[in-house]
Amino acid sequence: MKTRMTELFGIKHPIMCGGMMWLCKPDLCAAVSNAGALGNITAANYDTGAELAAAIRKTREMTDKPFSVNLSLLPSFRITKEMYLDWFDACLAEKVAAFEISGAPVDKFFGPDAIKRGHDAGVKFIHKVGSVRHAIHADHAGYDAVIAAGVEEGGHPLSDDVTTVVLTPRMAESVKIPVITTGGMADGRTLAAALVLGAEGVMMASRFMATKECQMNEKVKDELIRRQEFDTVLYGKTIELQGRALKNAWVKKVQDMEARHAKLEEMAPLLSGLRQQTVWADGNTEDALMPVGQSIGLIHDVATCKEVVERIVKEAEGILKGSTQRLNIS
Ligand SMILES: Cc1cc2nc3c(=O)[nH]c(=O)nc-3n(C[C@H](O)[C@H](O)[C@H](O)COP(=O)(O)O)c2cc1C
């Protein structure tokens, strides 16, 4: 399956892994890239550029295929501007294949020459955005691709709340650079749908959590499979950083605080991403905000990354070939 996305990154399949703090580390990244998709290292796993560079080099010992680095330029209690600059420079020095940027655009965050500096080092820029206006900005600023992130996605969907099904074609008709779809993507049917809607491929995160190579307590993977598409909720509109997480006792506490207009200082300990690390390790899924997408309703097994990627592509190819017959269109 060749698309503008596979050509842009030199990958076999039009699939990439989305950034996941504490989970997108060298083992998972290399497994996704070795499966022919674009793996991901999430910069926020590390405290310094040197630590990130070491993770990039470790990944390269396990794969000779391209992978991206996620930089989340979002408000954070922990990450300082110096840390972002350090990570950015480390990625240029290591000449990673691409940045997956979320939050603020790099040209505004690091300055107008940031994209040129990246391109000179051979690094491509993908911006994950939830609106057409942000996609148009990325196109004009010189990004190489945009990700249409619908409200179904895990992590931090934009509070515009536009679904993937509407956002993808709107973006595809509005920008010249390739559009990659995320939010609700987890199988061959959704990949085929994204391509039909005008995307050049998909990005998935929750689906890659339920893989053998994702390093987390097996109890969390079992819980993801048990839970359904209605088992996630949105929170955070009152603090202007919306998130989607698994329904649990922790997010209920956050929602209750929001309902009584609690101040950010009071909510901060509950929102800290540091807690997630403990949950991924001990498997107590009630004990932190657990970012996941509505796509968990489509995830029914734990498989290797290779099995996941190959199965999705085969299924999508079958659907796209067969749909004209099934719909009786000549
Ligand atoms: C566990 C988890 C952690 C995430 N962490 C980040 C992150 O650090 N930075 C980021 O930009 N997006 C993050 N996301 C969002 C994903 O990269 C992606 O946009 C989204 O999850 C796609 O929806 P899906 O999970 O249904 O495939 C995270 C998602 C999950 C599930």
CB contact burial 99-114 (16+ within 10 A = b; e otherwise): bbbbbbbbbebbeeeb
Residue 330 has pLDDT above 70, yes or no: no
Q: Write down the pLDDT at residue 208.
A: 98
Q: Return the SS3 of 242.
A: coil
| Single pTM value for the model | 0.97
The pLDDT, as a whole number, for residue 273 is 87
**pLDDT tens-digit profile of 103-158?**
999 999 999 999 999 999 999 999 999 999 999 999 999 999 999 999 999 999 99
Element holding 129 (H helix, E strand)? strand 124-129
Q: Compute, in angstroms, the gap from residue 43 CA to the centroid of ligand 1.
A: 13
pLDDT digits (tens, 9 = 90+) for 268-306: 999 988 889 999 999 999 999 999 999 999 999 999 999
Q: What is the pLDDT of residue 323?
A: 77
Measured from the Cα of 296, ligand 1's closest atom is 26
Mean pLDDT of 248-260: 96
Q: Compute the distance from residue 250 Cα to the ligand 1 centre, in Å.
A: 18
Q: For position 322, what pLDDT does the model report?
A: 86
Give the integer Cα–Cα distance in Å for 247 and 225: 14
User: What DSSP string describes 194-209?
Assistant: HHHTT-S-EEESHHHH
Residue 291 Cα, ligand 1 centroid: separation in angstroms? 7
Ligand 1 geometric centre to CA of 174 (Å): 24
User: pLDDT by residue (tens digit) across 157-209?
Assistant: 999 999 999 999 999 999 999 999 999 999 999 999 999 999 999 999 999 99
Domain boundaries, the chain: 4-216+295-326
Pairwise CA distance, residues 259 & 238, whole Å: 9
Cα angle 244-147-288, degrees, rounded to a multiple of 5: 20
> Which CATH number describes the domain made up of 4-216+295-326?
3.20.20.70
Start-to-end CA distance of the chain, whole Å, equals 23
Quick count: other Cβ atoms within 10 Å of Cβ 37? 33
Distance from Cα 41 to the centre of ligand 1, integer Å: 12
Report how far residue 147's alpha carbon sits from residue 136's, in angstroms, rounded to the nearest whole number: 12
Rounded Cα distance, 184 and 14, in Å: 16
**pLDDT tens-place string over residues 6-65:** 999 999 999 999 999 999 999 999 999 999 999 999 999 999 999 999 999 999 999 999
**Closest ligand 1 atom number to CA of residue 101:** 11
Pocket (CB within 6 angstroms of ligand 1): 18-21, 23, 42, 44, 70, 72, 102, 128, 149, 153-155, 182-183, 185, 204-207, 291-293, 295
Q: Which atom of ligand 1 is nearest to the CA of 102?
A: 11
Which ligand 1 atom minimizes the distance to the CA of 295? 26
Task: Quickly tell me which residue has 């390790």 as its tokens.
Answer: 281
